[in-house]
Amino acid sequence: MFVLLIALAISVVFLAKNYSQKQNEDDAKKIHVVASFYPLYFFAQQIGGDKVSVVNMTPAGGEPHDYEPTPQDIMKINKSKLLILNGGGLETWIDKVRDIIDPTNTRVVVAGEDLINQTMTENENKVSDPHVWLAPALAEKMAGKIMNGLRMADPENAAYYESRARELSARFADLDVAYRNRLASCANRNIVTAHAAFGYLAAAYQLHQIPIANLSPDAEPSPRQLGEVIQAARDYKVKYIFFESLASPKLSETIAREVGAKTLVLNPIEGLTPSELSQGGDYFTEMSKNLANLELACK
């Protein structure tokens, strides 16, 4: 009996070792990709499937606007075949790491390139508005650039990436149609958002964004700016004030109280919270929830 147990234990250890060795070998065969924040990570995963291993640099619950890479992130970037950035100033850290990226090993894809054509105000300056991923038709173009990057980094699996990118394109197209149809009959097209993340979405579906904060969700607006938002919310008879799951809802609640409105989430999908992820949330589930809340607010 004792001998049998020992034999069993040895074979379990052996199998486990083999299994982890196999896992390591599988992982070594995969194309290593680093994405700067959640939407790019999700798109790369959807297109890359089991041929890629994607790292999201901004941890769950983190905010890409104020993220700084750690030395471990830099190591991961250097080991990757593909670094996917948004562009438009979202990655404030890129100039610091550009010189240490080896271009012969790591290809850099700027998924928002040529799509970022809106500006926003930050500290009285006009800056690029990086939030292109919130308009489904533009997100589809970003995914196209990611597919191209994967195809060039791993030409052997080009057909695989192309076919998965086509499936993803169809999902963006469905989402775009749903937004178009369900927001077509909005009576009140004014949306008060926590930060100015919805400019591209507003432009795509003829909404008018009134942001409480500008570029960064955690930046405190001045009392004058806050007064203007309250006045606009009153003038436009806004019934809901939006807030975000990654930032404090306090200002949205204050404004809602002030003007007799309610609050609702409008997620800029700059990162998902651990609870959103554990409930199976992804870009599409959050975009659908956003649509349901926009529909409710614009009645």
Residues lying near Zn ion in the complex (CB under 5 A): 197
The residue among 69 and 199 lying less far from Zn ion, judged by its C-beta, is 199
Residue nearest to Zn ion (CB): 197
What's the closest the beta carbon of residue 64 comes to Zn ion, in angstroms? 8
The residue among 150 and 241 lying less far from Zn ion, judged by its C-beta, is 241
Which residue is associated with the tokens 């680093």? 34
* Residues contacting 285, CB < 8 A, separation 6+: none
The residue among 78 and 216 lying less far from Zn ion, judged by its C-beta, is 216
The residue among 89 and 186 lying less far from Zn ion, judged by its C-beta, is 89
Q: How far is CA 165 from CA 27, 157, 158, 235, in A?
A: 22, 12, 10, 44
207: Cα within 13 Å, side-chain hemisphere: 31
The residue among 44 and 197 lying less far from Zn ion, judged by its C-beta, is 197
What's the closest the beta carbon of residue 51 comes to Zn ion, in angstroms? 31
E strand map for 75-179: 82-85, 107-110, 119-122, 125-128
Q: How far is CA 216 from CA 211, 219, 231, 254, 271, in A?
A: 11, 5, 22, 19, 13
Q: In what order do the strands lie in the sheet with 31-35?
A: 52-56, 31-35, 82-85, 107-110
What's the closest the beta carbon of residue 60 comes to Zn ion, in angstroms? 17
Cα dihedral 23/26/28/30 (nearest 10): -130
Closest CA to 41 of 94, 87, 97, 84: 84
* Residues contacting 160, CB < 8 A, separation 6+: 49, 51
What's the closest the beta carbon of residue 270 comes to Zn ion, in angstroms? 5
What's the closest the beta carbon of residue 14 comes to Zn ion, in angstroms? 50
What's the closest the beta carbon of residue 53 comes to Zn ion, in angstroms? 27
The residue among 139 and 197 lying less far from Zn ion, judged by its C-beta, is 197
The residue among 80 and 86 lying less far from Zn ion, judged by its C-beta, is 86
Neighbours of 168 (CB within 10 A): 21
What is the three-class DSSP state of 47?
Answer: helix
The residue among 34 and 197 lying less far from Zn ion, judged by its C-beta, is 197
What's the closest the beta carbon of residue 84 comes to Zn ion, in angstroms? 17
What's the closest the beta carbon of residue 252 comes to Zn ion, in angstroms? 15
Burial of 34 (C-beta count, 10 Å sphere; 0-12/13-18/19+): buried
